[in-house]
Structure 1
Amino acid sequence: MIVRAALPLLTTLGPAVTTAQVARAAGIGEATVFRAFADKDALLRACVAEVLRPDTVLAELAAIERGEPLPRRLTTAAEAVLAHLDRLGAVLGVLHATGHGGRDRHRADADDHPGRNADDRPGRAAGDGAPGRDADREHSRPDRDTATEAVRLAVADLLAPDADRLRLPVDRLAALFLALLTPRGPLTGHPPDPAELVDLFLHGALTPAVAG
């Protein structure tokens, strides 16, 4: 509940958001925030862990009707994956812009330099063994490779009904499809829409005459 309340504030206010603002948004007292998290940095890391979780995108991929034509299935999948990447980028971007995203602070083992906002936690010294630190560990980010593999398997499952029509195994094509969607650097002009990416993925860049 606390993390869900913090995420929209974080995307609009950045790391300047205070625990008091989060508490108000969650409809709880600020002391409750500190019973769950050792300090504000622990809450920020929990927000990163939440957006790294693939649960939402996996549910959206699972809901795609397998009887739909392949281009429509993949376009819906691309929309879901791109929305997941947008959510992730929004949170990581605001943290990185102010230095909170450095040194892999979102990693589960980032507790060696927990940091602290003195305005948010008066009288507490960092690393003093606060009970909230256990909650911080519970909210540590999932293994990124495991999350990526789960999404890849979900896309492969979407491709499976058409396996006999495909040039490569569905596992390999799923990996290539996700690579096509994953940003590698700044885009110029208007970013391609999901339907364009799916058309390129399925049919390539050459016209049928040239391809033949």
Structure 2
Amino acid sequence: MTRAPGMTPDQRRETIVRAALPLVAELGSAVTTAKIARAAGIGEATIFRVFPDKDAVLAACIAAAMDPSQVLRELESIPLDQPLADRLTEAVDALDAHLGRMGAVIGALRASGTPRRPALARSESRDAAQAATRRAVLELFEPDQEQLRLSAEQATDTFLGVFFSRGADRGRIADVIDVFLHGALAR
């Protein structure tokens, strides 16, 4: 029987975090390293070859949940040749999924008694992530700049303001986008 090729420490860390994320979202800080190891298909001692302790695993899970890479890929993959309303609907779906991932992990950790961590405070990386997200949404407006009453930049900022102010009542996103694009007054 041949043994699988070894992983680099970064690959091992990524595998552990990927396996831990759904467990942390479900169990918060009550998750055990034994459960994480089982989910990752590794021995528990392997976790401690790349992480000093469970808190470091939890911190890596927070960082992964907040990482904007996936939502940026999803936003950048939205076809620019489809109607603006469809592009914005896809953008809302991607942004909602990202916020859901973050909320699940952070909420479960807080609910299980993990104190607020400095990593959750405003930081340069958070500001950079927000700027990158804004740029990706701006690109969705740019093909329609000629039809917009506002600049693409203003439309982006207004759209993101509406998106982030929706609160828990998500309503029908098609209605929100229709009012955003065409106003509340009858045509």
- TM-score, normalized by length of structure 1? 0.75
Structure 1: gaps spanning 5 or more residues: 108-140
Shift of 1:50: 0.5
Local SS of the residue matching 1:205: coil
Partner Cα separation in structure 1 for residue 119 and residue 82 of structure 2: 42
C-alpha spacing 1:96/1:83, structure 2 compared with 1 (3 Å): same
C-alpha spacing 1:160/1:150, structure 2 compared with 1 (3 Å): same
Structure 2: gaps spanning 5 or more residues: 1-14
Q: Which residue of 146, 159, 163 maps to 1:164?
A: 146
Local SS of the residue matching 1:72: helix
Partner Cα separation in structure 1 for residue 124 and residue 146 of structure 2: 35
Partner Cα separation in structure 1 for residue 104 and residue 34 of structure 2: 22
Partner Cα separation in structure 2 for residue 29 and residue 198 of structure 1: 49
Shift of 1:106: 4.7
Partner Cα separation in structure 2 for residue 41 and residue 5 of structure 1: 16
Tell which deviates more after alignment, 196-205 or 9-18: 196-205
Local SS of the residue matching 1:168: coil
Partner Cα separation in structure 2 for residue 12 and residue 41 of structure 1: 16
Residue of structure 2 in register with 1:206 after alignment? 185
2:107 corresponds to 1:93: yes
2:23 corresponds to 1:16: no
| Contact kept? 2:16, 2:36, Cα under 8 Å | yes
As a proportion of its length, which structure holds more helix?
Answer: 2
2:48 corresponds to 1:34: yes
C-alpha spacing 1:193/1:184, structure 2 compared with 1 (3 Å): closer
Partner Cα separation in structure 2 for residue 104 and residue 206 of structure 1: 45
C-alpha spacing 1:97/1:142, structure 2 compared with 1 (3 Å): farther
Provide runs of 4+ in structure 1 moved above 4 Å. Answer: none
C-alpha spacing 1:52/1:142, structure 2 compared with 1 (3 Å): farther
C-alpha spacing 1:198/1:89, structure 2 compared with 1 (3 Å): same
Which one-letter code corresponds to 2:182 in the other structure? H
Residue of structure 2 in register with 1:178 after alignment? 160
Partner Cα separation in structure 2 for residue 171 and residue 143 of structure 1: 22
Residue of structure 2 in register with 1:70 after alignment? 84
Post-superposition Cα deviations, 1:142-198, rounded to whole Å, max 9, x if no partner, equal 71010011011000001000011112221222122222222575x3xx531332221
Relative CO higher for 1 or 2, CA cutoff 8 Å, sep ≥ 6?
1
Local SS of the residue matching 1:100: coil
Which one-letter code corresponds to 1:165 in the other structure? Q
Identity %: 50
Post-superposition Cα deviations, 1:88-116, rounded to whole Å, max 9, x if no partner, equal 11111111223324143556xxxxxxxxx
| Contact kept? 1:53, 1:142, Cα under 8 Å | no
Which one-letter code corresponds to 1:43 in the other structure? V
Shift of 1:5: 0.2
Q: Which residue of 152, 165, 175 maps to 1:196?
A: 175
